[in-house]
Amino acid sequence: MEIIKTRQSRIDQVDFENLGFGEVFSDHMVIMDYRDGEWGEARIVPYGTIEVFPAMCSFHYGQMIFEGLKAFYTRTEAINIFRPQKYHERMNRSCRRLCIPEVSYDLFINALRELVTLDKEWVPKKKGYSLYIRPFIFATDSFLGVKVSETYRFMIITSPVGAYYKEGINPVKLITPGEYIRAAKGGLGAAKTPANYAATLLPAEEAKKKGFTQVLWLDGIKRKYVEEVGTMNLFFFIGDKLITPPLEGTILPGVTRDSVIHLAKEWKIKVLERRISIDEVFKTAKDGRLKEAFGSGTAAVISPVGEIYHNKKRVIINKRKIGPLSQRLYDEITGIQYGERPDRFGWCYLI
Ligand SMILES: *Cc1c(COP(=O)(O)O)cnc(C)c1O
């Protein structure tokens, strides 16, 4: 792999005690180009601007995908990339949906390992902090007709990030989005692609203006079943069962969702992947059977839901506090990520 190192590291300008999310970027990045039917060699270059043509087709028609995973500085001073195989699998699934050529696991993990190793000083040492890794692929043909591109660029950039919630885990306030939908069956809902986010910006802005943290998406047809939150999958702990919407093509198959399911099953909690209507959420919240609700995602890990608004009605969940199961899942997942708890599922890739 060709590596061109930066002449002047920017690391001294970074306040590692006060990191936000995705605001600063490490010294280097990976670039790998696809042409003539194959991926070329990956190279590492200093982080910086890239030159592309204004007619680059992904600007115009959105043929692109991305991923988001994290590396952690562990107790034993190793760096742990968490579940890279699972994120890679999903990346290729997104590629297939967007007619983008897949990237082999070898190419993916080698590029990732080289980049994180070169920028290892950028992995924050503070507990709760991590190095966010953003691989992405975009179509690069310079052509304004609508068609599948013949050339692509794969890149990886990384960003040291702080704890997602600065004052500890605060339960979020969600609102259902009225007329808007995020995805419909057969569409792009299960692919990690920018178009899904573009569709959610306006509803999310309107929700924020009304004082809510995020939108709680309902299914696109009946507007009845709960799907997910902007960047998180959802779980409801009702009675002794943990319920989460099934992967039927409209929601993103979260890696954190998968980790939660594995742990809950290990703890002998019944996990049901089934549809759950917003009415069931309200009803079980009112009669006390809904004990906890939480979102799961790479950025925040576990994010308790404290309130939901729907059709001018409101429910408060677990007195707007984090519940014991949410806390236990958060502690266990972060414990494994920081190498403090045994990695019995083979989730850790240490470098
Ligand atoms: C990335 C993402 C998630 C969470 O997935 P993780 O793999 O757990 O980070 C959930 N919903 C959407 C729409 C996403 O893009």
Backbone angles phi, psi at 221, to 5 degrees: -100, -60
Instruction: Tell me the pLDDT band of 166, cut-offs 50, 70 and 90.
Output: low
Cα of 299 to ligand 1 centre, how many Å? 9
**Residue 192 CA, closest ligand 1 atom number:** 15
- Residue of 300, 271, 38, 264 whose CA lies nearest to 154: 38
| Residue nearest ligand 1's atom 2 by CA | 231
Dihedral Cα 267, 270, 273, 276, nearest 10 deg: -120
Q: Is the CB of 244 under 6 A from ligand 1?
A: no
Cα of 278 to ligand 1 centre, how many Å? 21
* pLDDT value, residue 205: 97
Q: Is the CB of 303 under 6 A from ligand 1?
A: no
* pLDDT value, residue 167: 61
* pLDDT value, residue 230: 83
Neighbours of 122 (CB within 10 A): 23
Q: How much is the mean pLDDT over the chain?
A: 96
- Residue of 125, 138, 173, 174 whose CA lies nearest to 14: 125
Q: Which domains does the chain have, with CATH numbers?
A: 2-162 (3.30.470.10), 172-337 (3.20.10.10)
Beta bridge partners of 237: 242, 292
| Residue nearest ligand 1's atom 1 by CA | 231
- Cα separations (Å) of 307 from 169, 174, 229, 285, 293? 14, 6, 13, 10, 9
Instruction: Tell me the pLDDT band of 168, cut-offs 50, 70 and 90.
Output: low
**Residue 259 CA, closest ligand 1 atom number:** 8
Cα 297 from Cα 79, distance rounded (Å): 20
Cα 288 from Cα 291, distance rounded (Å): 7
- Cα separations (Å) of 130 from 105, 196, 218, 232, 279? 23, 26, 32, 18, 38
**Residue 229 CA, closest ligand 1 atom number:** 11
- Per residue in 121-137, pLDDT (tens digit) is 999 999 899 999 999 99
Does 106 have pLDDT greater than 70?
A: yes
Cα 337 from Cα 340, distance rounded (Å): 8
Cα 227 from Cα 107, distance rounded (Å): 33
Instruction: Tell me the pLDDT band of 148, cut-offs 50, 70 and 90.
Output: very high
Global pTM reads 0.97
Q: Is the CB of 140 under 6 A from ligand 1?
A: no
Does 163 have pLDDT greater than 90?
A: no
* pLDDT value, residue 170: 82
- Per residue in 212-270, pLDDT (tens digit) is 999 999 999 999 999 999 899 999 999 999 999 999 999 999 999 999 999 999 999 99
Q: Is the CB of 296 under 6 A from ligand 1?
A: yes
| Residue nearest ligand 1's atom 13 by CA | 231
- Per residue in 66-105, pLDDT (tens digit) is 999 999 999 899 999 999 999 999 999 999 999 999 999 9
From 252, 255, 263, 298, give the residue whose CB has the most ligand 1 atoms within 8 Å, as the site to mutate: 252
**Could you tell me what percent of the chain has a pLDDT over 70?**
99
- Residue of 95, 100, 115 whose CA lies nearest to 42: 115
From 83, 233, 334, give the residue whose CB has the most ligand 1 atoms within 8 Å, as the site to mutate: 233
Contact 351, 118 (CB under 8 A): no
